[in-house]
Amino acid sequence: MAILSIIETPDARLKQISTPVATVTDAHRTLIADMLETMYDAPGIGLAAIQVGVAERILVIDLQPDADDTPDDAASEDIVRIKQPRVFINPEIVWASDELSVYSEGCLSVPEMYADVSRPARIRVQWLDDQGASNEAEIDGLLATCLQHEMDHLNGVLFIDHLSRLKRGMLLKKLEKLRKTG
């Protein structure tokens, strides 16, 4: 496994529309393992293949809390972190609720920037897993938000594209200033 470089805005590759995976191969499984290692190292809770320069419809998610999220009254040696990675290949939303959910989103490709984004609270999704098996499920909560965020990447959309022009401009200026100051 390898830690891959994460592409950051304004890199034009982030605007590419990713192509569907025809057949899940060992090369895809290696990419997925590398994406997971990269996501955990960043650290993040989701990563789309295009964020590491691969324009294929693959994304990974793991919503497990970091050690920093351990309750103060729990002894850290008593807490075992079990990674629960999820792999979505060619994900497709087949239904979305009218009810919306607002979440303060961030992105590994737009580092250290956060903004409230409104998305459907529940979605029904079809996808392939890393073995090429078909899956379908209704998803809600943070997983629904994260999945929609990562699926946006597959369509060349960043979370900041959901913001007003003014908010997006302010956020990008703040990011540019942060990069200049190191």
**CATH number for the domain formed by residue range(s) 12-67+84-181:** 3.90.45.10
The one catalytic residue among 77, 105, 112, 150: 150
Give me 138's structure tokens: 């209704």
The structural domains of the chain, with segments of one domain joined by +, span: 12-67+84-181
| pLDDT given at position 82 | 80
Is 150 a residue of the active site? yes
The single residue listed with the structure tokens 């729990």 is 74
The single residue listed with the structure tokens 């419809």 is 57
The single residue listed with the structure tokens 């920093």 is 68
pLDDT tens for each residue of 31-46:
999 999 999 999 999 9
| pLDDT given at position 79 | 53
The single residue listed with the structure tokens 């022009």 is 165
State how far the Cα of 50 lies from the Cα of 30, in Å rounded to an integer.
Answer: 15
- What amino acid is encoded at 21 in this protein? V
pLDDT tens for each residue of 118-162:
999 999 999 999 999 999 999 999 999 999 999 999 999 999 999
Cβ neighbours of 49 (radius 10 Å): 25
